[in-house]
Amino acid sequence: MAQSKGTVVLAYSGGLDTSCILVWLKEQGYDVVAYLANIGQKEDFEAARRKALALGAKKVYIEDISREFVEKFIWPAVQANALYEDRYLLGTALARPCIARGLVGIAQQEGAQHIAHGATGKGNDQVRFELSCYALCPKIKVVAPWRLPEFYQRFPGRPELMDYAKKHGIPVPVTPQTPWSMDENLMHISYEAGILENPKNQAPPGLYTKTCDPANSPDTPDVLEIQFERGVPVRVTNTGDGATRWSALELFVYLNDIAAKHGVGRIDIVENRFIGMKSRGIYETPAGTILYHAHLDIEAFTMDREVRKIKQGLSLKFSELVYNGFWHSPECEFLRECIGRSQEPVVGTVRLSVFKGHVYILGRESPRSLYNEELVSMNVQGDYEPADATGFININSLRLKEYHRLQSKVTEKQDE
């Protein structure tokens, strides 16, 4: 029996990797406390508790952090219009610092000096988990088995893990019929690895689990009205059946259901991982897709043009920081404060249609609107003098005239 190395809190999912890691940590001499975060994934949590205890966990903590996830992590991303590399809505990247807070909290409660996770040595999640843990508890020590030669040389692939699981009586749900990995939370589900590693391969028909195939979705749209306060959705109403949701968690779950019914939120992309390699990921982000389009619209309606240009730059940096695992960094905290301040005028209601895989904006209204119908109208002059545009154009054309005048001189000299 290995000498006792103290207590380690393991970020446990109940899947193949973390189940094998739990047993392996015990072999190394650790007392294992399993921490399972309920962050909106479909999971039999009590079955996972029984499984962890049967595998030798000293304690098992199951914590529902879904509401915290929505209010403290998803809402700031909605306010930011956060989008990594123009397409990824950051579902996994937002969940990791939220889970890490719970993980560190249990470690401190248990007096544990170590935390452990099942993230691979090639992915982003190892960075996200560990940067968050070190920020929240600088003295914590991380055990990352997939970066330890004694672990990854013993388990170079999935077959070796399966053999280890069978030898130690570890029941696992992974089968050869589903040769890809999945990670789910309230905001999204991701699929990667296995047959998906060849970016040419189309996603198999049975891969998607969170949304309906748009081709088989209803032939009648759902028309929703989403109300925002300071850039945060506070109410959603279905104009068809009158269904209304107010609280953050219930509102988000409802939008997930509506979007999923109409096949909204599917993307298949190749992205740049923080550690330097490209990877292929397939994502379903139903509610997040609706809110991205709705917030983008109400923000453009209520925010000053020049403020919005600056805010767009902040959002780009915010998305990069979140993706790379720097949620708890001082620069990310600063950006959240700045973006939050920009959202004061983002108030109003967006009317939209959800239909056949798409979100269509139908209209918007706001008491803070900067849109002046009389000023912009082609039928009413309003408080605007068209003749003033002549001077505006002349001033702006001066730079262009001078640039091309110089270019003409250079070309003439080259032709001599």
Could you count the other beta carbons within 10 Å of the beta carbon of residue 375?
11
As a dihedral over the C-alpha atoms of residue 157, residue 158, residue 160, residue 163, rounded to 10 degrees, the angle is 180
Could you confirm whether 96 is annotated as catalytic? yes
Residue 124 makes CB contacts below 8 A (sequence gap 6+) with: 92, 93, 273, 274, 275, 323, 324, 325
State the DSSP string of 163-204: HHHHHTT------TTS-SEEEE-SS-EEEESGGGGSTTSPPP
Residue 4: DSSP 8-state: P
Contact status, residue 211 vs residue 264, Cβ threshold 8 Å? yes
Q: Which of 19, 66, 96, 279 is catalytic?
A: 96
Contact status, residue 118 vs residue 146, Cβ threshold 8 Å? yes
Where in 156-265 does DSSP place strands (E)?
181-184, 189-192, 222-229, 232-238, 244-245
Q: Which of 13, 17, 280, 297 is catalytic?
A: 17
Residue 305 makes CB contacts below 8 A (sequence gap 6+) with: none
Could you confirm whether 163 is annotated as catalytic? no
Residues in the chain: 416
Q: Which of 31, 49, 101, 125 is catalytic?
A: 125
Q: Which of 181, 279, 315, 342 is catalytic?
A: 181
Residue type, 29: G
Catalytic residues: 17, 96, 125, 181
